[in-house]
Structure 1
Amino acid sequence: MKITREMIEKSYDYAKKVYHKKIDKTSAANSLYREIGMHQGSAYHYIEAFCSMMQGKKYTRTINTEATRYYLENIYKDYGVDQLRIALKAVEQHTDYYGKLGRGNLRSIEKLVNEYKTQLGKMS
């Protein structure tokens, strides 16, 4: 099933709630399934990616480029430039991890990271 823009936006909203301990991951994933038909496994991976971004930790399940961009844009809007730097570190670790698996690279996400790093360089 294709991940829609609505799924990306809703998963971001639920991921924030999980991160701030207002709801648990399983309940959030189930809500995403009930509300918009997002498969619970995908929902769980998207929530996990957000939480990893917030902590600057590598995540191992890929979210699509559109979702990565949406998450980074909204982390910047909601939490500021310092948190964006932390999130970018997590995304970079993810692309490095994925590249080492021998299944190819995440070129579009790597390009996105470089875009953001360039923008951050101009802000400093």
Structure 2
Amino acid sequence: MEITLDMSKGALIIAKKVFSGELTRSEGKIEINKRTGMNEGSAQDFITIFLAMMSGKVYKRTFNNVTNKFLLESIRQEFGDESYRKALNAVQQHIEYYSTLGKGNLTGLQQIINQMK
């Protein structure tokens, strides 16, 4: 199932609750599934990616470029420049990690990062 922008918008509301400690990761993935129809595995990945972006740490799962760009724009808008820089760093680390897997490069995502820096 493709993750749509509407799904991502709904998932972000829940992921922010996980980030703030209002929900556990497990509660968050179930809630995302209920609200957006995103399967629980993808919902778990969404939360993991959002939390990694907020902390500036590498993540290993991949989402579509629309979702990645939406997350970066939302983080900048809602959390400010410092969090945005951490998120950009996390995505760059993810791109570098992915390139070591022998599955190709995330050139579209790299272009987004280059544009947004």
Could you say which TM-score interval applies, normalised by the shorter chain? over 0.9
The count of aligned residue pairs is: 117
1:4-19 correspondence runs (5 A): 4-19=4-19
CA contact 2:10–2:35 (8 Å) conserved in 1: no
Q: For residues 74-100 of structure 1, what are the alpha-carbon distances to aligned partners after superposition, in whole Å with 9 as ceiling and x for unaligned?
A: 100001111111110000000000011
Shift of 1:33: 1.4
1:30 aligned residue: 30
Letter in 1 for 2:73: E
CA contact 2:53–2:87 (8 Å) conserved in 1: yes
Which stretches in structure 2 are left out of the alignment for 5+ residues? none
Distance 2:21 2:53 in 1: 16
- Give me the identity figure in percent: 37
Distance 1:36 1:8 in 2: 8
2:103 aligned residue: 103
TM-score, with length taken from structure 1? 0.91
TM-score, with length taken from structure 2? 0.96
Letter in 2 for 1:14: I
1:69 aligned residue: 69
Distance 1:83 1:108 in 2: 22
Distance 1:52 1:23 in 2: 17
Letter in 2 for 1:86: K
Tell me, yes or no, if structure 1 residue 2 matches structure 2 residue 2. Answer: yes
Distance 2:83 2:25 in 1: 22
- Structure of higher CA gyration radius: 1
Shift of 1:15: 1.0
Name the SS of the counterpart of 1:9 in structure 2. helix
Letter in 2 for 1:77: Q
Deviating 4+ runs (over 2 angstroms):
none
